[in-house]
Amino acid sequence: MIVSIVYDSGYGHTAKQAEAVAKGARQVSGAEVTLIPVSEKNIPWEALEKSDAIIFGSPTYNGLISARLKQFFEDSTRTAWTELKWRNKIAAGFSNSGAQNGDKLNSLMSIALFAAQHGMIWVGLDLHPADPNSTATTKNLNRLGSWLGAMAQSDNASPEITPGGSDLKTAEYLGKRVAEITSRLTNRSEKLPGSDSKAKQLV
């Protein structure tokens, strides 16, 4: 089972969140996990096509995903969307921003909508919101209270300090959850139709 994590990070905070997502996914037996920063010139489109799950992450800039992740989204139209190459892959998302809220939901909504346009299957969080005042403990998963994906807060601190323990644990939880669900789907004898399936032509 291949899990790819496509993310942007201008200053290193969202990269830290992406590492935590990867850490969680790697806890699931059989998961091959790759981190793909969109700042890299050569996006491995073929590796993405082979992935069973793709998790997208972005800092929230101006209440939106970053321009670099948006560029990746636009580039995927030609490389993946026209032939629906990511159809029925598992998708999930995460976002980090300075403020506790910071309009991160808008970024997650954009990512989820993008995944829907690719015919992907969205996996959110199944965690009740926890104590919003807890930034440091690992007990309080999902302290920022998001169902759509993992959120993290970085304040104005350096990436050595933020995002903090609870937010990183929430990211780790999301990665593990995505890999577990993907594993269950990929290990079934009856597979979901992929982009090369004739079933697509019947729709």
Ligand X SMILES: Cc1cc2nc3c(=O)[nH]c(=O)nc-3n(C[C@H](O)[C@H](O)[C@H](O)COP(=O)(O)O)c2cc1C
Positions touching ligand X (CB under 6 A) are: 9-14, 59-63, 96-99, 102-103, 154
For the bound state, the minimum distance from the C-beta of residue 162 to ligand X, rounded and expressed in Å, comes to 7
Query: Inter-axis angle of helices 165-186 and 13-26, to 10 degrees?
Result: 40
Q: Which residue is nearest to ligand X (CB)?
A: 102
For the bound state, the minimum distance from the C-beta of residue 11 to ligand X, rounded and expressed in Å, comes to 3
Name the residue nearer to ligand X (CB basis): 113 or 161: 161
Euclidean distance between the first and final Cα of the chain, in Å? 27
Name the residue nearer to ligand X (CB basis): 10 or 193: 10
Closest CA to 178 of 140, 128, 124: 124
Name the residue nearer to ligand X (CB basis): 11 or 187: 11
Residue 2 CB: number of other CB atoms within 10 A? 18
CA-to-CA dists, residue 65 to 51, 71, 93, 166, angstroms: 23, 10, 11, 22
For the bound state, the minimum distance from the C-beta of residue 72 to ligand X, rounded and expressed in Å, comes to 15
Name the residue nearer to ligand X (CB basis): 62 or 201: 62
**Using CA atoms, how far apart are residues 143 and 102, in angstroms rounded to an integer?**
14
For the bound state, the minimum distance from the C-beta of residue 56 to ligand X, rounded and expressed in Å, comes to 14
